[in-house]
Amino acid sequence: MSVADPAATRVMGVVNVTPDSFSDGGQWLDPELAIAHGRHLIAQGADLLDVGGESTRPGATRVPEDVELARVMPVVQGLAAEGAAISVDTMRASVAEKVLDAGTSCINDVSGGLADPEMPRLVADRGCDVIVSHWRGHSDVMSQRAGYDDVVADVARELEQRVTAFLEAGVRQDRIILDPGLGFAKNADANWQLLSHVEVFMATGHRVLVGASRKRFLGELLEHDGVPALPTYRDRATAAVSALMAARGVWAVRVHDVAGSVDAVRVGTAVRAAGEARFEQGRTGD
């Protein structure tokens, strides 16, 4: 990674190569534009790029495998040729295999291996990093599966089950990154609960990725006269989440507006470092 401080929270820049993503659908569908956008995000400070060819917004319908591949492959190839660190947002093991061949170093499976049972085996065979998200179903049904007894405990337990599936397939523990899956089968209160208890996921010893960028619960928080803020008007709130998560020490934040979150992460990292320094000072003074 390009971050100077190995303990600092990474900033993952989103490159959506889709016509229907909730925040920027269609804007980067052309491969050359997507590559240029990725290049721009790196110049703004992104440590890695997350390329996706299938929208996972609520209500989205799945695209065929060949369409997903046609969208992501030229972008991955172009960015990898320039030395970018890339993850690919896909739920298909067949797509993951091809993008790994093209230069991807991490697979971001928002289904946590549930959508394609071949994903854990592929990741084990390839020895790559994998982001395992909490997920309860595809976009057309996930809003119907948002019931929890205790959202933090339930998500932690269900994520542990997915981690076990990857470990049993032979994936190394240090290759697994956890994502609590904000917005996936979760209402606003559930998202806030997960953010406020992110240490539960960090306590597993796995790296933790938080993806709050421009999501609906931020729009609802910022609503005016009952109208949620538009996705691009949620970037300052996203940066606030990035600062808070960096202060807690998460591994990475996944964002659309990289520049704002790069600054926010610096603030959060400085707060965390000051707290750790004071703790060390007190401990050595005993």
Distance CA 34, CA 3 (A): 23
Assess whether 254 carries a catalytic annotation: yes
Contact 178, 126 (CB under 8 A): no
Picking from 236, 241, 247, the residue whose alpha carbon sits closest to that of residue 270 is 247
Burial 151-178 (b: 16+ CB within 10 A, else e): bbeebbebbeebbebbeebebeeebbbb
* The one catalytic residue among 162, 175, 207, 254: 254
Contact 127, 105 (CB under 8 A): no
Q: At a CB cut-off of 8 Å and minimum separation 6, what does 179 contact?
A: 108, 110, 131, 132, 133, 134, 208, 209, 210, 211
* The one catalytic residue among 71, 215, 216, 248: 215
Assess whether 186 carries a catalytic annotation: no
Residue 15, strand partner residues: 51
* Residues designated catalytic: 215, 254
